[in-house]
Structures are given as structure tokens and as C-alpha cells.
């Protein structure tokens, strides 16, 4: 453990705690998706803590995808990327087309069922059909690199990837 960075850093009004017990480690310790959570604050904190690359590897419809730095995990699985977008944010801007939902997501190297089980074991309720349930919402879905989801450089497309998505209402 690196004592210089040990401790907990509360992000966006206790919506998520990030354990910075070492230069790398588990980023989802104390994860909670709450109303009013700020994806911009999460991304800025991860940039300050050197969890993600300084520049996004992809921006699609203003959703930014940042490659994770080596050694970080989320819910016990290797963290591959963090994606996020927030309305009315100069950081994210506004892309063409319809506005994507406000969200932040952790992309990990795991099967969807493995990630869903790990998330549920922490006591977090996940939703299957978001349009039927109130906000905030947590979804666990596959990250399909053969379809529209782009993996960061260096990620092996032969592995399975999944993402846990927080959709807070701002």
C-alpha cells in the first residue's frame, strides 16, 4: 500500500467512493448510484488520480470513453474503460442528434452475468427495463465491441466485456 495516497475520497455528494489505497486498485468501493450524481466530477477526479487516460479514446454523441490505466479494478474485475456524459456541461459539450442519457459507466473484462452477480452481492439493485422504473438506475449490460461499443487501444477483443452503468437524474 502506498500511504501517500491511502484513504477514501468521496465523489459527487457521496454518490461513489473511490478507494485510493495505492497507485492502482479497486475503484468501486462503496459504489452507489444516487440522484444528482455528477459524471463530470467522477471523470475529473479519475483524471486527477490518474485512473484514466488524459484524453478520451472515443467521443460519440458527446459521450466520452476513457481508457483505464493498468492495475485498476471495478467490482473485482479489471477496469478497461470509463464512459460518461452529462447534460449542460462544458467538459462534455453537446454532440449531434438526440441527447444521450446522463450516465457514467465502468467497462470491465468480465461476462455480463459475472458482473451482475458481483454488483448484486454489494447490495445494489439493478434494473432490466429502465423505461419502467424510476431514477436513479443501475444497469449491467454487455459491452459489444463487434457492434457500436469501441474498446480502447490494447484491449483484446477475444475477451468478454461488460459494463455497469449509473443513470442518475440530475
pLDDT of 98 strictly over 70: no
Q: pLDDT digits over 34-73, tens only?
A: 988 899 999 999 999 999 999 999 988 888 999 999 999 9
87: Cβ–Cβ under 8 A, 6 or more apart, which residues?
A: 99, 102, 170
d(CA 85, CA 105): 9
d(C-alpha 131, C-alpha 32), whole Å = 20
Which residues are paired to 79 by β-bridges? 108
pTM of the predicted protein model: 0.83
**Residue 113 host element (H or E):** helix 112-121
Assign 30 a pLDDT band (cuts: 50, 70, 90).
Answer: confident
Q: Are 145 and 151 in contact (CB under 8 A)?
A: yes
Burial 42-72 (b: 16+ CB within 10 A, else e): bbebbeebebbbeebbeebebbbbbbbeeeb
Amino acid at each position: 500500500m502506498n500511504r501517500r495516497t491511502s484513504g477514501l475520497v468521496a465523489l459527487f455528494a457521496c454518490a461513489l467512493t473511490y478507494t485510493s489505497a495505492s497507485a492502482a486498485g479497486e475503484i468501486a468501493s462503496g459504489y452507489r448510484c444516487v440522484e444528482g450524481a455528477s459524471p463530470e466530477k467522477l471523470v475529473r477526479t479519475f483524471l486527477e488520480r490518474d485512473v484514466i487516460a488524459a484524453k478520451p479514446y472515443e467521443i460519440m454523441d458527446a459521450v466520452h470513453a476513457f481508457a483505464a490505466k493498468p492495475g485498476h479494478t471495478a467490482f473485482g474485475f479489471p477496469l478497461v474503460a470509463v464512459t460518461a456524459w452529462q447534460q449542460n456541461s462544458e467538459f462534455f459539450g453537446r454532440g449531434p442528434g438526440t441527447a444521450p442519457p446522463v450516465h457514467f459507466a465502468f467497462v470491465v473484462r468480465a461476462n455480463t452475468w459475472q458482473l451482475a452477480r458481483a454488483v448484486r452481492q454489494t447490495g445494489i439493485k439493478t434494473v432490466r427495463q429502465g423505461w419502467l422504473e424510476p431514477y436513479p438506475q443501475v444497469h449491467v449490460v454487455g459491452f459489444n465491441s463487434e457492434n457500436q461499443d469501441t474498446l480502447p487501444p490494447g484491449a483484446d477483443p477475444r475477451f468478454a466485456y461488460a459494463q455497469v452503468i449509473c443513470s442518475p437524474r440530475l
